[in-house]
Copies of this chain bind each other. A is one copy, B any other.
Amino acid sequence: MKLTYGVHRALQQYADRQAIASGTRQTSFRQLASRVSRLAAVLQDLGVQHEARVALLASNSDRYLEYYLATWWAGAVANPVNTRWSPAEIAYSLNDSGTELLIVDEGHCHLLPAIHGHITGAHLRVAFFDDGSCPPDLFDLEALLGSAAPISDADRQDGDLAVIFYTGGTTGAPKGVMLTHGNLWASAMSRYATVPAVPGAKAIHVAPFFHVAGAGRLISHYLAGGSALAVPAFRPPQVIEAIARHGISEIVLVPSMLQLLLSDSSFDSEKLSSLRRIFYGGSPIGEALLDSALQLLPKVELIQSYGMTETSPLITMNPHDNHVGEGRKTGRHRSAGRAVLGVDLRIVDSQGHVAAVGTSGEIVVRGANVMQGYWGLPEQTSHALRHGWLHTGDVGYLDADGYLFVQDRLKDMIITGGENVYSAEVENVILQHPAVESCAVIGLPDVVWGERVHAAIVVKPGHEASQEEIQAFCRQHIAGYKCPKTVSAVPLLPMSNVGKVLKASLREAHLRAESNRGPQERAS
C-alpha cells in the first residue's frame, strides 16, 4: 500500500482530528492533506519528477511529516539526512543518492557552505522549509506553498521506492538502504497485528525522523490515525513538560534516553500520568533501569522492539507481560521478544543451516518488510540478501518458545545511544593522525549509552597523542557520536595469525582492566 493512503483515509474517517503538533502549532489531518498536496505541487514545480531523490536536513517538527508525505505524493523518494553527520558525510549521501533537491530548516542552514564544498554533482537545488525568513539564495517552500494549487496523489505502488536511509557501512562508506512503500507499510501492519494500536493514542516523537526507528514510528502512527507531537531534540525537562501539557500516551526511546528521563531533576511521576506505553529499542533494558521504570511509572507498559534499517525496521517485539511477574522470572525481559506477525526469522549456522533451539547463530529474516537492497551496491546487496534471507549480522539464539536472545554482532559495529557506528569508519579516520601507528575501535559496555566507542591506539615511536587530541581530530572528520568517548594507548594490538585484530580479546582485556580499576575511575 502507498504510504499516502493514511491521508486519504483520514479525510474520509477523521479529517478534523489532530495529525501532528509542533511547538504551539497543531495540524489537523484536513490541514495536513491540504499542505501535503500543495507542497507536492511545489516540489514538482521545482523539477522533482517521479523517482527523484529529495533530501531533508532538519530537526523533528511537523514539517518532517509533511516532507515525507509530499515527497511521496509527488511520486519522489525521500532521503532524510542524519543531522549528526559532518558536512562531508552529508555531502556523501547527497552525492551517492543523486539527490536533486535538498531541503533545510533554519537550524541547519549554517551547514550549507561546508556541504556545498563536498558536492560533486551540478544539479543540487536547495530549498528552505521553516518559520523564519528564508535566506535570499534558497527556494522558500512556505511562500511557494501558500500560493500553490493542490495536485493529485501520484498513487505510488508497493514496489516503488519510498525512502533511502543512509547508515554507516562496514567498509567505511555509508550505504543507502532502499525501502519501498510496501516495505514500510508491511512493517506498520506487522506492528499493529502484534501490538495493537490504541484508539486515540498521542505519541511524542523524540527519536529523530531521519532514522528508520523514528520515521517508522511516525509513519505507522500516522497511518493508524494517531496524533503526534514532534520535538526537535531530546532534552528531558522539555520532554517531561511536553508529555504533561499534551497528555501524551506513548513514547519511543532507547534505554539511555529512558535513564536520562527518569533520573532528571525535573522528573515527576504526576507529570507523566497520561503516559501508558514506552516503546524502547536498541538494546534490552537493564535490571536497575527496569526496576526504576516500573516503580516510578506503574501505569506504563514497557514494550521492546528489535530491528534495523534493512527491515523497515521491526523484527521482534517483546510485550510488557515479559517485563513483570512470571514473565520477568523466566528472564524473557532480557530477550528481544518474538518475531512480529509477518516476519519470518531463523537462526542459521555459518553453512546456512537452521540452528537448533538454544544454539547461537546468525539472525536471518525474510518478509515484505525486508529492504530492496543498498543503493548502487549490487554486490553488497546480494551478499546481505543471499539465499533469499536478510543476513542481519547479529548473533543470537531462540528459546523453545521462539524468544530471541541477541548476543553479539558479526559486523564490527557499535550501537551507542541507538546510533550504529562502524568501527572501520572510525579507524580509517584515526589512522590518518600523524602520531598513530595502528588502532582498533571497539564498543565497551556503558550504563547510559548501552555501548561507548573506545579506541585502542598504538603510538608511533617518538610521537605522543592524548585522548583529547585524538577526539578533536576525529570531530573534524566524522559525526560526534562516532568519535571515541575514551582512548587508550597500548603497546601492541592482539593479532590473529592472519594479521586480523582480535577485537574480542581486546575487549576482554579492557573489561578486565576496568573492573580492576572500578567504575568511578572509568567515568571520564
Contact = CB atoms under 8 A, between A and B. Distances in A.
Interface string A32-66: 00000000000000000000000000000000000
A84 interface: no
Given A368-B1, A368-B158, A401-B14, A9 B339 contact: yes
Contact of A402 (B13, B196, B342): B13
A398 interface: yes
Contact of A9 (B9, B196, B341): B341
Contacts of A345: 12
17 contacts: A1-B342, A1-B367, A1-B368, A5-B344, A9-B341, A12-B339, A12-B345, A12-B398, A12-B402, A13-B338, A14-B402, A189-B189, A189-B193, A192-B192, A192-B193, A192-B341, A193-B196
Interface string A1-39: 100010011001110000000000000000000000000
Interface residues of A, number: 27
Nearest to A195: B196
Contacts of A339: 9, 12-13
A224 interface: yes
Scoring A158, A189, A338, A368 by chain B CB atoms within 10 A of each residue's CB, the highest score goes to A189
A197 interface: yes
Main DSSP-derived SS at the A contact region: mixed
A198 to B, nearest CB: 10
A341 B193 CA distance: 11
A330 to B, nearest CB: 14
Nearest to A11: B402
B344 A401 contact: no
A341 B401 contact: no
A223 interface: yes
Given A5-B342, A13-B338, A192-B192, 20 more contacts: A1-B368, A5-B344, A8-B344, A9-B341, A9-B344, A9-B402, A12-B339, A12-B398, A12-B402, A13-B339, A13-B402, A14-B401, A14-B402, A189-B189, A189-B190, A189-B341, A192-B196, A192-B341, A193-B196, A193-B197
Contacts of A197: 193
A208 to B, nearest CB: 26
A167 B398 CA distance: 45
Interface string A203-237: 00000000000000000000110000000000000
Nearest to A5: B344
A196 B193 CA distance: 7
Interface of A: 1, 5, 8-9, 12-14, 158, 189-190, 192-193, 196-197, 223-224, 338-339, 341-342, 344-345, 367-368, 398, 401-402
A174 to B, nearest CB: 31
A56 to B, nearest CB: 27
B189 A342 contact: yes
A401 B1 CA distance: 22
Contact of A224 (B5, B9, B341, B367): B341
Contacts of A341: 9, 189, 192, 223-224
A343 to B, nearest CB: 9
A317 to B, nearest CB: 12
Contacts of A223: 341
A9 B344 CA distance: 7
A375 B14 CA distance: 38
A350 B1 CA distance: 26
Scoring A14, A190, A196, A367 by chain B CB atoms within 10 A of each residue's CB, the highest score goes to A196
A2 to B, nearest CB: 9
A197 B338 CA distance: 16
A342 B223 CA distance: 9
A393 B202 CA distance: 39
